Amino acid sequence: MTKHSIEIDFSENIEINHPKCIHGPTLLFHSSTSKFFACSACRDRQECDIFIPYEKRHEKKSKKIIEQHEKEYEKFKEYIQIVQKNRKKFNKQRDIHYCYTCSTLFSENEQSDHIDHKYTESLNRQQLRQPCQYILQPLENKRSNAQFFFSQTFIDYLINEIILKTSWDSIICIGCPTIFENLQCFNLKKKFHSYLLDYDIRFCSFYSSKQMLIYNMFNGHIFSNKKYFQEKFLSIIKNCLIIIDPPFGGFHRALSYSIDKLFQSYEINRNLILFNPYFLEKWIIDAFPNLKMLDYKIEYTSISSLNLCRGKKGSPVRMFTDICPSKFPPLDDINYKYCFECNRYTLLTNQHCFQCQSCTSKDGLPYKHCLLCQRCVKAERIHCNTCNVCHLPNQCMNKTNKRKHSLSDNRKKRRKK
């Protein structure tokens, strides 16, 4: 079952009425045949196996499963508190190390506790302020928490060309730790507040609750102490930019719900920049109707061994934003041009279509307008009079369907024999 065939029910208060797993409150999913509670963050039940049929939620077996996951949730919250408490003692210490095995900091006199572990040499203050650049590696679990760190070139562009040239008084980074740490370290002339919301518990060793919170962006649940964030941070800001880099397989409607939930008690003007592949545009616009896709290829570092952000056509990741596209200068002067009809920069290969009244290429390759389909299609596609759509040669939809039906009929005949 894919996210395309599933809807999410937000009619109930998920914090009170939904069972919890280690990722916080579950979401209530429903399809044409079933209704059930499942993890909000993990697509694969091998990663988080909570599954409660809605009509059986009060049965003894379901209650036992709920109780078990509730205990795991409480343990996770306790562990967050321990890591945050442990961090405070390193504020004025020297000879601090980071243990990759335990995902915590430790001092020189605690080295014997980590003798068989993998850990860093003594860290300086610069390294502690920029853990993504100097210490941490991106998480690489495709099913739940795969991470990609933005390239330094793009981070510099975003900060210098967008953030510093606008009137926001605050920046909230959701799942964008590299952008957040650069905001902390840049010698910025402009003063504004910044905050990190991320589910990666490793950051608790480097940032206090005044800088970041453990947060699930798909159910809006905050795990760590949120008093400062709600009473001090959100209560004083007026114009906020939210920067989100969500997992590519996440539910965008759940993401939209979480953002609204985060700001529901505050009157804050906010803009949004969201990073996702161009081929998810339909689902993004469905959840965020005000967003528009920019024609910029977003590059990540090559540290990760995952190839989800690389392809033959370059990075498929784009910016989706409710900020006017004309306010975004090009990423470079070589690969982009200005379209006067669209009033924005596009890739050199993206030609303006006067029938569609826009630059229509999504993947950076040339598109052409089909008068019969009344839209632009990839240049190598031709219009088929049999199925009345544009496709690659020898890929007629009607012929493919006939072939499938004939194959299934042959299988049925063999079974009868």
Does the pLDDT of residue 307 top 60, yes or no? Answer: no
pLDDT of residue 188: 61
Question: Average pLDDT for residues 22-30, to the nearest whole number?
Answer: 95
Per the prediction, the chain carries an average pLDDT of: 86
pLDDT at position 140, please? Answer: 65
Distance CA 369, CA 18 (A): 49
Which pLDDT score, from 0 to 100, does residue 363 have?
85
Asked if pLDDT for residue 127 goes beyond 60, the answer is yes
Q: What is the pLDDT of residues 69-105, one digit of tens each?
A: 999 999 999 999 988 888 888 877 788 999 999 888 9
- Quote the pLDDT of residue 305: 44
For residue 302, name the pLDDT band (cuts at 50, 70, 90).
Answer: low
Which pLDDT score, from 0 to 100, does residue 379 have? 86
Q: What is the pLDDT of residues 39-62, one digit of tens each?
A: 999 877 888 999 999 999 999 999
What per-residue confidence (pLDDT) applies to 311? 52
Give per-residue pLDDT as tens, 224-239: 889 999 999 999 999 9
> What is the pLDDT, as a whole number, of residue 405?
45
The pLDDT > 90 percentage for the chain reads 56
pLDDT, residue 309, reads 47
- pLDDT at position 249: 81
pLDDT at 59: 95
Mean pLDDT lowest among 66-75, 132-141, 291-300: 132-141
Among the ranges given (85-89, 137-141, 372-376), the one the predictor scored with the smallest mean pLDDT: 137-141
More confident residue, 331 or 396: 331
